Amino acid sequence: MVGPQLLHYGIAAVMAAAGALLALYNFFVRLRRDRLVADTPPVRIRSAAQGYVKVSGRAAAAGASPARAPLSARPCVWWDYEIARLERDRQRSQWHTIESGASVELFALIDAEAQCLVGPVRAEITPTTRSVWYGTEPRPLGPPPSSNPLWRAGDWRYTERLLSAGDHLCVMGELRSHSELGDVNAATAAKLHEWKQDQQALLARFDVNHDGKLDAAEWEAARLAAARASQSQTL
Amino acid sequence: MLVLLVLLFLIVALVGYLIGVYNGLVRVRAAVKLAWSNIDVLLVQRHDELPKLVEVCRQYMRYEADTLDRVMRARAGVDAARSSGNPGSLGAAERELRSGLNGLYAVAENYPQLKASEPFRHLQERISGLETALADRREVYNDAVNTNNVRIDAFPDVLVARLGEFPPAQLLHFQADQKSDVDLSAAFSR
């Protein structure tokens, strides 16, 4: 017969062991990643061989104008965001993510002599700007305040992470020549065309308000999904 | 029991760490080989372009057979060194070839028709581009060599490196001549 004290002791020991193993696993994952970054020699874009490379340079918009962050409308080359709501019950209060998203648009990386395009889909990105602010509406009424307020104003939390044009970046990944990659925008258009062949499936997937047609926001969601799908196949 | 668990945890951590070190050494060794292969690709491309350049020059340069032969001999030397995979001999052969090419370009100044010809200009640009890329990739190679050599000598990696086959790699130095200006007067006096 196992006493309750001994049982508690056993549970605590198992939890401590699991925590220690998890910490050890995270340590090895981070060590491996840091060593990979440190041990991969940087290359210049103009003479880089195709394959896994490390390049560094300044971020720039791939097109004529930079993208706009969805919550703050700040100019950037990459963004991701999260909108969370504080939900309270009798015992505790907890943030629940209501909406989130990430940019799938390509951006340029420019070194001293040349440039390449960077596909952010499935990339692990360390942003140069991270803003967290609060409000009372499901969508923020303006950009984040320049300084952190002393108290939280509202039950909605907005988190935005950005890479801005001109930021110095170090990028690691598979480098492909333009001729091999083809036109990514054309690939997105082709993917959308493919989806449009089956209107029912397209509506079932993106017609959120079920009015039988895709409005501007729904079409934008379809376009982003197509860009993500085509990049996953080509990059 | 607790001591046994802690001991087991430490053993798992140590084994995991050693596996990580070993895999890291394998990765940096492979990076050196890859960087060498990337240089090799460009050397082969330039090897294929040089006879075309010499052939174009031969049509205009009636009395510069020595200069042209020197380039072709140096080309063969680079190819032999490339095949051997020895950075030391490649550096020496490359020095000889660059000296020969500098001489060829200097002598070409005496032949305005050659300098104006489209094939010559195209090949000169192509070879210059390949040499620029070679210089860049030599930097990458030397970076990879340096990382490899530091890793296999640093503690505790050195303990694992001695158990496996992780020899130091050799840096690639193309030329001492590159540090000094090209002697144009000597080239023109030929």
Residue B110: what are its φ and ψ, rounded to 5°? -80, -5
CB A123 within 8 A of CB A173: yes
ipTM of the complex: 0.73
Q: Burial code of B80-111, b = ≥16 C-beta within 10 A, e = fewer? A: ebbeeeebeebbbbbbbbbbbbebbbbbbeeb
A10 reaches B (C-beta below 8 A): no
DSSP secondary-structure letter at A57? E
Domain boundary (A136, A160, A176) is at: A176
Q: Which two tokens stand for residue B169?
A: 């790699």
Task: Say yes or no for a CB contact (<8 Å) between A41 and B151.
Answer: no
Same domain assignment for residues A33 and A56:
no
- With vertex at residue A107, the alpha carbon angle to CA B139 and CA B37, rounded to the nearest 5 degrees, is 25
Give every CB contact of residue B72 below 8 A, 6+ residues apart in sequence: B50, B51, B54
Same domain assignment for residues A51 and A110:
yes
Same domain assignment for residues A229 and A141:
no
Task: Say yes or no for a CB contact (<8 Å) between A46 and B137.
Answer: no
What is the amino acid identity at position B147? Answer: T
A153 reaches B (C-beta below 8 A): no
Same domain assignment for residues A212 and A158:
no
Summarised one tens digit per residue, pLDDT across range A182-200 is: 555 677 777 787 888 788 7
Same domain assignment for residues A51 and A78:
yes
The mean predicted confidence, pLDDT, of chain B is 85
Same domain assignment for residues A145 and A82:
yes
Q: Tally the domains of chain A.
A: 3
pLDDT score, position A234: 46
Residue scoring higher pLDDT (B21 or A180): B21
pLDDT score, position B66: 84
Residue A140: left if φ>0, alpha if ψ -120 to 50, beta else—which one? beta
For A172, counting Cβ atoms within 10 Å of its Cβ (0-12 exposed, 13-18 middle, 19+ buried), the class is: middle
- CATH of B20-188 given 1.10.10.60, 1.20.1440.20, 3.40.190.10, 3.40.50.1820: 1.20.1440.20
Rounded CA-CA distance A118/A59 in Å is: 9
Torsion sign (Cα): B123, B124, B127, B132: negative
Domain boundary (A176, A200, A226) is at: A176
Size of interface A-B (CB pairs under 8 A): 53
All structural domains of chain B with their residue ranges: 20-188
Summarised one tens digit per residue, pLDDT across range A60-94 is: 998 777 889 999 999 999 999 999 999 888 778 89
A225 pLDDT higher than 50: yes
Same domain assignment for residues A129 and A158:
yes
Same domain assignment for residues A18 and A56:
no
Same domain assignment for residues A25 and A51:
no
Summarised one tens digit per residue, pLDDT across range B34-85 is: 999 999 999 999 988 888 888 888 888 777 788 888 888 889 988 898 888 8
Summarised one tens digit per residue, pLDDT across range A100-114 is: 999 988 899 999 889
Rounded CA-CA distance A35/B144 in Å is: 13
Rounded CA-CA distance B11/B5 in Å is: 10
Same domain assignment for residues A227 and A205:
yes
Highest mean pLDDT among A230-234, B100-104, B178-182: B100-104
Residues of chain A contacting B46 with CB distance shorter than 8 Å: none
Task: Say yes or no for a CB contact (<8 Å) between A39 and B31.
Answer: yes
pLDDT score, position A82: 95
pLDDT score, position B42: 92
Task: Say yes or no for a CB contact (<8 Å) between A13 and B137.
Answer: no
Task: Say yes or no for a CB contact (<8 Å) between B27 and A39.
Answer: yes
Contact residues, chain B to chain A, C-beta under 8 Å: 2, 5, 9, 12-13, 16-17, 20, 23-24, 27-28, 31, 34-35, 38, 41, 132-133, 136-137, 139-140, 143-144, 147, 151
A146 pLDDT higher than 50: yes
Task: Say yes or no for a CB contact (<8 Å) between B20 and A32.
Answer: yes
Same domain assignment for residues A145 and A215:
no
Proportion of chain A above pLDDT 70, given as a percent: 91
CB A208 within 8 A of CB A218: yes
Q: The domain containing residue A228 runs over which residues?
A: 182-235
Mean pLDDT of the region A222-235: 67
Same domain assignment for residues A102 and A145:
yes
